[in-house]
Amino acid sequence: MKYTSLGRSGLQVSRLCLGTMNFGPHATPEESFAIMDRAHEHGINFFDTADVYGWQKGEGITEKIIGDWFAKGENRREKTVIATKLYGDMGNGNMDGWPNTNRVTALHIRRACEASLQRLKTDYIDLYQMHHIYRNTPWEEIWEAFSILKQQGKVLYIGSSNFAGWHIARANEEAKQRGIMGLVSEQSKYSLLQREIEMEVGPAAEAYGVGVIPWSPLAGGILGGVIKTQEGQRRLNDQSKLTIEKHRDALTKWEDLCEAIGEKPADVALAWTLSKSFVTGPIIGPRTIEQFDGSLRALEIEITTELNEKIDAIFPAFKTSPEHYAW
């Protein structure tokens, strides 16, 4: 396994990040345990989750599955860099409908962290991420709340998800004024079909030493070879099918290119994200052991200058801002 620093931090994480969103809804606890064990067998130490995963309000089902796996011992927790997220509404039962059970406020940060620690059966979170930007809370409140958690040893690093480039800049400038580290990572939707972050998020992240962790690097499976395989198409929802029709010509050329170099489209798509200088590692979200094993090939594929030019011809790159719209 190849490892890299998480942003400008000294924390070493695997170049592939195991996404756990399928744990619970699509993979049983036993299947989830097997996937996490296989990840460790291959040296993947970076796992990503969120308190809302499992999609039953307030239950934190996916975190509970990971916590039960940690509880099996054999240094599972110590070998894992666990990243989780807060923002979504976790109010259920007699808290349903009450305020302060979601978003990013000092109160919810504290409550959400304590709840995630209990579900994960651990006393600290390696990377605690804001799932979305919350514009109504001032940064002095946010950074004070996270600083308290860090002082208590409950959180080690702070990250963001779905932030704009200027959000990353503002967050880290505010942190700098307080003499604290600020954001070390940003999760962004990034794939060959959605390259907009190359304009501002990628350059901002690189400038501030924030490692980008792409989510949906296969565009919901669309880049995995859906034109030539009926099996891939059967799993897609209606929105994905519309996307395929919109990009059918490009996707056909994409699959032809991958066939010509003798590689699977999904593996090349992951390898392409790994080739970007601002990327720490893409999130893979396998439902089965077989899907997990298939993802490992991406670590061995070299995206040469010639191959990158061919890919850009199919899926055009974005110029960084302001070059994209000014000169």
Count CB neighbours of 142 within 10 A.
Answer: 20
Query: Looking at the DSSP assignment, which residues form a beta bridge with residue 214?
Result: 188
- Residue 195 CA: distances (Å) to CA of 237, 270, 276, 316, 318: 22, 14, 12, 8, 7
**Structure-token pair, residue 205:** 């992240």
Cβ neighbors of 62 (< 8 A, separation 6 or more) are 20, 21, 23, 24, 49, 50, 53, 54
- Residue 50 CA: distances (Å) to CA of 132, 153, 199, 237, 297: 12, 20, 27, 23, 27
Q: Based on the residue annotation, tell me whether 53 is a catalytic residue of this protein.
A: yes
d(CA 110, CA 96): 18
From the number of C-beta atoms within 10 Å of its C-beta (0-12, 13-18, 19+), residue 149 rates as buried
Can you point out the beta strands (E) in 131-276? Answer: 155-161, 183-189, 211-215
Cβ neighbors of 21 (< 8 A, separation 6 or more) are 49, 50, 53, 62, 285
Cis peptide before 265 (omega within 30 of 0): no
- Given the residues 53, 157, 190, 208, the one annotated as active site: 53
DSSP 190: -
Q: Annotated active-site positions, please? A: 53
